[in-house]
């Protein structure tokens, strides 16, 4: 079994994918807090991505890295995202290179396109357009991964995750939802597929009128097993009933409409 280091493993996505990945890989979980209820087959390491000693210890003996760790939220400011979403990603990439680990899977987000309107949206032809500081940090992470992939040969898969909630809350989520099982399969492709160089795929299950087409994932053998329509929330909100503040007309939803925190201070 390949050993995979998962950063941010105590988070919601990390907890959801663990049962699927541990059947195929030896897992080492790394987070600021201990991962709850680990399986006996899973290692748990508590540490800080911005602490060089913690990083070296976490990477010792692993074959691949799955980088989930980040901070997010509608009110997230640039300053509050710097350590986790910028510095930590660069530190992890450099430590991965130094450790001789040659597989890196980066959990990006559909929010790198979030400022685009849904009508006429085509990810294959449109530029990145982050909707807020969370999406901006993810776009930075993709570029940092590209630098390490092309300069140092780090075999990297970028997974732009859609909506990874347990159920589908509204019409926007319906177009880009992904199950934990399908997301884990994409991560596994990034860890093990022999053809990975620097590739970008979309973390989505089978969705009606999907916002993202994914020929690269199909080329790599990804076949979604779950359907968004089978996982509607009990309070599912159709398009017509979605209030404007939810950003129903934008790829990034409410992130595209929320006021960005000022960088100049309250007195500017």
Buried b (16+ CB within 10 A) or exposed e, 73-82: eeebebeebe
Specify whether the CB–CB gap between 27 and 10 falls below 8 A. Answer: no
Report pLDDT digits (tens) over 79-123. 999 999 999 999 999 999 999 999 999 999 999 999 999 999 999
Alpha-carbon gap, residue 206 to 224, rounded angstroms: 6
pLDDT at 1 (0 to 100): 84
Q: How many CB atoms lie under 10 A from the CB of residue 147?
A: 14
Average pLDDT over the chain reads 96
Residue 262: the pLDDT is 75
Residue 12's pLDDT band (cuts 50, 70, 90): very high
130's CB contacts (< 8 A; 6+ apart) are: 111, 112, 113, 114, 115, 136, 138, 139
Residue-wise pLDDT tens digits, 16-59: 999 999 999 999 999 999 988 889 889 999 999 999 999 999 99
Q: Return d(Cα 232, Cα 213) in angstroms, integer.
A: 21
Rounded distance between C-alpha atoms, residue 61 and residue 129, angstroms: 38
Lowest-pLDDT range of 178-187, 189-198, 203-212, 254-263 = 254-263
Is 134 considered catalytic here?
A: yes
For residues 137-149, give the mean pLDDT: 98
- Cβ(130)–Cβ(136) below 8 Å: yes
Mean pLDDT of 128-152: 98
Percent residues over pLDDT 90 in the chain: 93
The answer to whether 158 and 149 are in contact (CB under 8 A) is: no
The answer to whether 4 and 14 are in contact (CB under 8 A) is: no
Residue 264 binned pLDDT confidence (cut-offs 50, 70, 90): low
Q: Take residue 78 and report the two structure tokens written for it.
A: 């640039």
Name the residue among 207, 211, 131, 111 with its Cα closest to residue 168. 207
What is the pLDDT at residue 267?
A: 46
Q: Which of 86, 106, 134, 198 is catalytic?
A: 134
pLDDT of residue 265: 55
Mind listing the domains of the chain with CATH numbers?
Answer: 3-256 (3.40.50.720)
Arithmetic mean of pLDDT, 152-173: 98
């Amino acid at each position: 079994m390949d050993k995979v280091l998962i950063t941010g493993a105590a988070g919601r996505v990390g907890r959801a994918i663990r049962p699927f990945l541990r059947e195929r890989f030896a897992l080492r979980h790394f987070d600021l807090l201990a991962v709850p209820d680990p399986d006996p087959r899973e290692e748990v390491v508590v540490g800080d991505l911005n602490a060089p000693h913690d990083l070296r210890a976490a990477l010792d003996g692993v074959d691949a890295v799955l980088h989930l760790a980040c901070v997010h939220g509608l009110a997230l400011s640039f300053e509050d995202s710097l350590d986790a979403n910028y510095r930590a990603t660069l530190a992890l990439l450099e430590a991965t290179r130094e450790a001789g680990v040659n597989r890196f899977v980066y959990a990006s987000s559909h929010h790198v396109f979030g400022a685009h309107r849904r009508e006429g949206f085509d990810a294959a032809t449109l530029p990145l357009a982050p909707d807020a500081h969370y999406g901006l940090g993810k776009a930075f992470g993709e570029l940092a991964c590209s630098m390490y992939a092309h300069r140092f040969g780090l075999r990297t898969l970028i997974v732009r995750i859609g909506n990874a909630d347990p159920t589908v809350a509204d019409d926007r989520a319906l177009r880009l939802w992904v199950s934990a099982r399908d997301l884990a399969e994409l991560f596994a492709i990034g860890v093990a597929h022999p053809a990975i160089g620097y590739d970008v795929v979309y973390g989505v299950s089978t969705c009606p009128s999907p916002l993202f087409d994914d020929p690269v994932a199909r080329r790599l053998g990804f076949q979604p097993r779950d359907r968004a329509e089978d996982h509607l929330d009990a309070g599912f909100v159709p398009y017509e009933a979605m209030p404007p503040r939810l950003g129903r007309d934008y790829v990034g939803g409410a992130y595209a409409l929320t006021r960005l925190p000022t960088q100049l201070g309250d007195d500017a």
